[in-house]
Amino acid sequence: MQRAVHDRGGWPTDAAIDRSEHELADWELRTDALLGALAKHDLMNVDQLRRGIESMPPEDYERASYYERWLFSIEARLAEAGVIAPGELDARLAR
């Protein structure tokens, strides 16, 4: 059965489980809360979040951190909804 990159149950791996933990950084809390804010305004739901994450190129998915995946999905959704124009966020960052 074909499987997508997020579908990890039983995925062959010898990797040990890294049990180190980190307190969520401000930007991670902010990303999490941003989804909630968008949901409150009916712009994005958790299923759309997951769908967006699942659409990441596989190498990017595996390399990205947890909230980097969320941000990818949020940006994709906002572009899909026409809320943010292509390149608009990059232009703002370059200011």
Partner 1 sequence: MSYRPGQRVRVEAREHQGHHRTPAYLKGRTGTVERVHAAFRNPETRAYGSDGLPAQPLYLVAFAQRDVWPDYGGHADDRLFVDVFEHWLQEAQ
Partner 2 sequence: MSDHDHDHDHAPIADGDEPPAAARVRALEALLVEKGVISHEDVREGIDWLVSRTPADGARVVARAWLDPDYRERLLADGRAAARELGIDPGPAPVLVAVENTERVHHMVVCTLCSCYPRGLLGPPPDWYKSLPYRSRAVSDPRGVLAEFGTTLDDDVELRVLDSTADIRYLVIPRRPEGTDDLTEDELAALVTRDAMIGVVAPAAPAAVGA
Identify the CA nearest to 44 among candidates 84, 72, 74. Answer: 74
Q: Which is nearer to partner 2, 24 or 57 (CB)?
A: 24
Specify the residue for token string 């703002």: 92
> Least distance (Å) from partner 2 to the CB of residue 42?
11
Partner touching 41 among partner 1, partner 2, none, CB below 5 to 8 Å by kind: partner 2
Q: How many CA atoms lie within 13 A of 42 on its CB side?
A: 0
3: tokens are 């499987």
Partner touching 51 among partner 1, partner 2, none, CB below 5 to 8 Å by kind: partner 1
Partner touching 48 among partner 2, partner 1, none, CB below 5 to 8 Å by kind: partner 1
